[in-house]
């Protein structure tokens, strides 16, 4: 029986804090209609209109190794793949249903392909698993908040036995925890209305998951969703408490702390455009520069950053996603140490960017340059052992310029004569404190 133990909890969370940056992949049948992963619900699409996508699913450009190498090159340390989304389609060879990728023309166990490829690149792996299931006959239909047939009284819930669905979904989770090697994260999605906690028989589920996958970390969505923190934050952890909080498409303005002011583990999951699953007409991609600065902001507030890619119906990453990931990777080549294992600094946010910190090493992320020498509010000269530009590891000496002689109580750094920062998006100054 699982019981929360703080020391054990902190031990299993260590890699998560070190990793900081992960890739989320939303892939499945919904990539073919290409209107996002909620297309069945949004359009109240009957199953018979969705089934053709099952019969035609054959992503010819699917390349798990390419996906994993792209994640690795972008500086990601873990990869989370949808094993089953709300539509109930299983990307793994489950014995519980025929509604699975191995029964499509594609024929492969996508979970196995992707997890094997990710591990081969040295990435930690996780699986997203939807507690919702719009395919299963015993899952609530009429009157449910989300089901595609929620408004159609022909889909009454008479005869639906929810306990049968519980056995079904828990059997699938057992398969995933038994047949696919070591899992580092299980990313459940999501609790709503009365369907939360023991309504999912979550204690039984978590005891099974944690016995099959010792050391695994779980998100908080057996209890809540992107809304709500969960029982650990409230200081009263249930057996199925989340190990981390999962804000979605936003960054908690002040990070997340419990009622005692202790920092909590959280991971914001972020879409590059406005959809998790592939959406052909959603070209509202965030710029690479914005994504980088949001990554830095998340770390500066003590969180992880899970960046999503929604491959298209051919299994290819959208070109905008490839551009963003390549931009991130280029920056991480020089600056990754200012992300991995870093977190919030006790210093106030600097005027020209953000701080991330790891022990006695402070990283000043400059999104713009100061006019003249760079002021470091709150840091005394005597505290600084050294300061360098990570860009070329060139020294940034303490400035002795007369221009700031009226401000002897403020430390200024000399970044050299060139006014434009070497990296216009984020130039990092590594400050080693005594």
Nearest distance, CB of residue 8 and ligand GLC, angstroms: 27
Name the residue nearer to ligand GLC (CB basis): 305 or 331.
305
User: What are the tokens at 309?
Assistant: 């890619």
Torsional sign, CA 277, 283, 285, 287: positive
Q: How far is the CB of 271 from ligand GLC (least distance, A)?
A: 8
Residue 269 or 279 having the CB closest to ligand GLC: 269
How far apart are the C-alpha atoms of 100 and 28, rounded to whole Å? 10
What is the CA 186 to chain-centroid distance, rounded?
Answer: 12
Longest Cα–Cα distance in the chain: 83
**Shortest Å, Cβ 190 to ligand GLC:** 5
* Single residue of 37, 133, 267, 312 touching ligand GLC by CB under 6 A: 37
Site for ligand GLC (CB under 6 A): how many residues? 9
Do residues 121 and 75 lie in contact, with contact meaning Cβ atoms separated by under 8 Å? Answer: no
The nearer residue to ligand GLC, 81 or 269, going by C-beta atoms, is 269
Cα–Cα distance, 278 to 36 (Å, whole number): 5
Six-digit token string for 184: 């580092």
In the bound state with ligand GLC, the residue whose beta carbon lies nearer, of 70 and 220, is 220
- Tell me which residues in 46-85 interact with ligand GLC (CB under 6 A): none
State how far the Cα of 143 lies from the Cα of 123, in Å rounded to an integer: 41
Q: Which is nearer to ligand GLC, 20 or 221 (CB)?
A: 221
**Site mask for ligand GLC (CB under 6 A), range 220-239, x = bound:** ------x-------------
Q: Which is nearer to ligand GLC, 226 or 397 (CB)?
A: 226
Question: What is the nearest approach in angstroms of ligand GLC to the Cβ of residue 38?
Answer: 6
- Altogether, the residues listed in the chain come to a count of 434
Beta carbon nearer to ligand GLC, 169 or 331? 169
Encoding tokens for residue 191?
């609790």
Candidate list 244, 276, 363, 412; residue touching ligand GLC; CB under 6 A: 276
Residue 82 CB: number of other CB atoms within 10 A?
28
Using CB under 6 A as the binding rule, the residues of this chain from 136 to 195 that contact ligand GLC are: 189-190
**Between 324 and 389, CB nearer to ligand GLC:** 324
Element (H, E) at 165: helix 162-179
Q: Smallest distance from the beta carbon of 189 to ligand GLC, in angstroms?
A: 5
CB 143 to ligand GLC: min, Å: 19
Residue among 46, 226, 78, 309 at smallest CA distance from 152: 46
Q: How many CB atoms lie within 10 A of CB 145?
A: 11
Which residue number, 247 or 313, has a Cβ lying nearer to ligand GLC?
A: 247
β-strands 411-413, 361-366 pairing: unpaired
d(CA 374, CA 349): 14
Helix/strand number for the chain, H first, E second: 9, 14
Options 201, 234, 248, 320; binder of ligand GLC; rule CB under 6 A:
248
What is the spatial distance between Cα 14 and Cα 415, in angstroms, rounded to a whole number?
A: 35
Question: What minimum distance in Å lies between the beta carbon of 25 and ligand GLC?
Answer: 11
Minimum CB–partner distance for residue 187 and ligand GLC (Å): 8
Least separation in angstroms between residue 348's CB and ligand GLC is 31
Tell me if the bond preceding 190 is cis, omega within 30° of 0. Answer: yes
Distance CA 265, CA 237 (A): 14
Under the binding rule (CB under 6 A), the answer on residue 127 touching ligand GLC is no
Per DSSP, the three-state class of 244 is strand
Nearer to ligand GLC, 308 or 425 (CB): 308
Q: Among residues 225 and 326, whose Cβ is nearest to ligand GLC?
A: 225
- Minimum distance, C-beta of residue 134 to ligand GLC, in the bound complex (Å): 12
Find the binding residues for ligand GLC in span 371-410 (CB under 6 A): none
The number of CA neighbours under 13 Å toward the Cβ of 377 is: 10
Residues near ligand GLC, by CB under 6 A: 26, 37-38, 189-190, 226, 248, 269, 276
């Amino acid at each position: 029986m699982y019981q929360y133990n703080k020391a054990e909890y902190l031990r299993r969370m260590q890699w998560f804090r070190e990793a900081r940056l992960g890739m989320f992949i939303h892939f499945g049948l919904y990539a073919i209609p290409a209107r996002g992963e909620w297309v069945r619900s949004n359009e109240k699409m009957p199953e018979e209109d969705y089934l053709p996508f099952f019969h035609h699913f054959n992503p010819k450009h699917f390349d798990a190794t390419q996906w994993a190498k792209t994640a690795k090159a972008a500086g990601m340390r873990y990869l989370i793949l949808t094993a089953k989304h709300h539509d109930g389609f299983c990307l793994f060879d489950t014995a519980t249903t025929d509604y699975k990728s191995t029964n499509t023309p594609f024929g492969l166990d996508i979970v196995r392909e992707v997890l094997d490829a990710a591990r081969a690149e040295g990435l930690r792996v996780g699986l997203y698993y939807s507690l919702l299931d719009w395919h299963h006959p015993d899952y609530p239909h009429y009157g449910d908040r989300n089901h595609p047939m929620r408004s159609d009284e022909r889909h009454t819930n008479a005869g639906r036995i929810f306990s049968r669905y519980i056995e079904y979904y828990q059997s699938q989770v057992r398969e995933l925890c038994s047949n696919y090697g070591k899992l580092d994260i299980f990313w459940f999605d999501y609790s709503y209305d009365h369907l939360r906690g023991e309504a999912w028989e979550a204690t039984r589920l978590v005891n099974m998951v944690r016995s099959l996958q010792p050391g695994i970390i779980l998100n908080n969505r057996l209890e809540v969703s992107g809304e709500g923190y969960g029982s650990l934050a409230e200081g009263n952890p249930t057996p199925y408490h989340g190990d981390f909080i999962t804000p979605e498409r936003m960054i908690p303005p002040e990070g997340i702390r419990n009622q005692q002011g202790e920092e909590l583990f959280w991971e914001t999951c972020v879409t590059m455009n406005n959809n998790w699953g592939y959406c052909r007409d959603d070209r509202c991609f965030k710029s690479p520069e914005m994504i980088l600065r949001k990554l830095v902001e998340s770390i500066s507030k003590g969180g992880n950053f899970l960046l999503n890619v929604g491959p298209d119906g051919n299994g290819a990453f959208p070109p905008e996603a490839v551009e963003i990931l390549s931009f991130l990777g280029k920056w991480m080549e020089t600056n990754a140490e200012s992300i991995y294992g870093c977190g919030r600094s006790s210093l106030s946010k600097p005027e020209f960017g953000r701080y991330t910190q790891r022990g006695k090493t402070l990283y000043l992320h400059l999104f713009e340059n100061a006019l003249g020498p760079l002021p470091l509010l709150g840091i005394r000269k005597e505290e600084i052992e050294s300061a360098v530009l990570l860009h070329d590891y060139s020294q940034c000496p303490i400035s002795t310029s007369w221009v700031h002689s009226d401000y002897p109580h403020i430390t200024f750094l000399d970044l050299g004569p060139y006014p434009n920062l070497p990296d216009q998006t984020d130039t990092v100054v590594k400050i080693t404190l005594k």
